[in-house]
Amino acid sequence: MQDNSTYKISSEVSSKINKWLLKFPDGKKKPAIIYALHLIQKENKYIKSIHVDALANFLNLKNIDVYEIAAFYSMFELEKIGKHTISVCTNVSCMLNGSDEILSYLESKLKIKVGRSSDKYFLKDERECLAACCGAPMMQVDHKYYENLTKEKIDKIITEIENE
Ligand code: FES
């Protein structure tokens, strides 16, 4: 990660964005925003206003065009977060199969409240259905799915992360 006070889109990211732009008619830059934000977030862990400004400048768009997308989609983080992101689904199937208990257990095990972050973990706001209802209750850790959760299974997952 580079010093964000002088953020400039990296050559690797800019070259990927330019390649992506070739899919769209000349001058149509907005379709690249989501893709570019993913790349920038991957390099920087979360999206700061200087990233928004740099991307808007790179795409020759207004800052608000980029910011409204970064702020709207839940996959973009606008605040500093821990190394591992955990998202527990609390939609109907998961809720009926104990997601509230799973979430409480994670809060107490990781000593963070939902929506908050420690240096190591970010327990994301409760998620809508993550399309794994047959494995309810479930969660994502860094976008990897874990299903049929129990407290014991969570202990094992967290131990594996701790031993990485
Ligand atoms: S309700 Fe949780 S994955 Fe669908």
* Cβ < 6 A, ligand 1 pocket: 89, 91-94, 129-133, 136, 138
Beta bridge partners of 139: 88, 146
Judge whether 153 and 117 are in contact, CB under 8 Å. Answer: no
User: What pTM, to 2 d.p., does this model score?
Assistant: 0.71
Candidate of 87, 88, 89, 146 to mutate for ligand 1, largest count of ligand atoms within 8 Å of Cβ:
89
* pLDDT one-digit tens code per residue, 107-127: 999 999 998 889 899 998 777
Tell me how crowded residue 123 is: count the other CB atoms within 10 A of its CB: 25
- In the three-class reduction of DSSP (H, G, I as helix; E, B as strand; rest coil), residue 122 is classed as strand
Give residue-wise pLDDT tens across range 34-92: 999 999 999 998 899 999 999 999 999 999 999 999 999 878 888 888 889 899 999 99
- pLDDT at 137 exceeding the cut of 50: yes
> Hey, which of 87, 88, 91 would you mutate to test ligand 1's pocket, going by the most ligand atoms within 8 Å of its Cβ?
91
Of 34, 40, 9, the closest CA to residue 20 belongs to 34
Q: Is the pLDDT of residue 5 over 90?
A: no
Domain boundaries defined on the chain: 4-72, 84-162
CA-based end-to-end distance of the chain: 20
pLDDT attached to residue 77: 87
Enter the tokens of residue 87: 């998202």
What number does the ligand 1 atom closest to the CA of 127 have? 2
Q: Which fold has domain 84-162?
A: Glutaredoxin (3.40.30)
Q: Please give the Cα distance from 41 to 77 (Å, whole number).
A: 8
Place of tokens 């992360």: 161
- What is the enclosing helix (H) or strand (E) of 121? strand 121-123
pLDDT of residue 45: 83
Question: Which alpha helices (DSSP H) does the chain contain, by range?
Answer: 11-21, 33-44, 49-59, 63-72, 92-96, 99-110, 151-162
Q: Give the pLDDT of residue 143.
A: 81
Atom index in ligand 1 nearest the CA of residue 94 equals 2
pLDDT of residue 106: 97
Fold of the CATH domain 4-72: Arc Repressor Mutant, subunit A (1.10.10)
Confidence bin at 1 (pLDDT 50/70/90) = very low
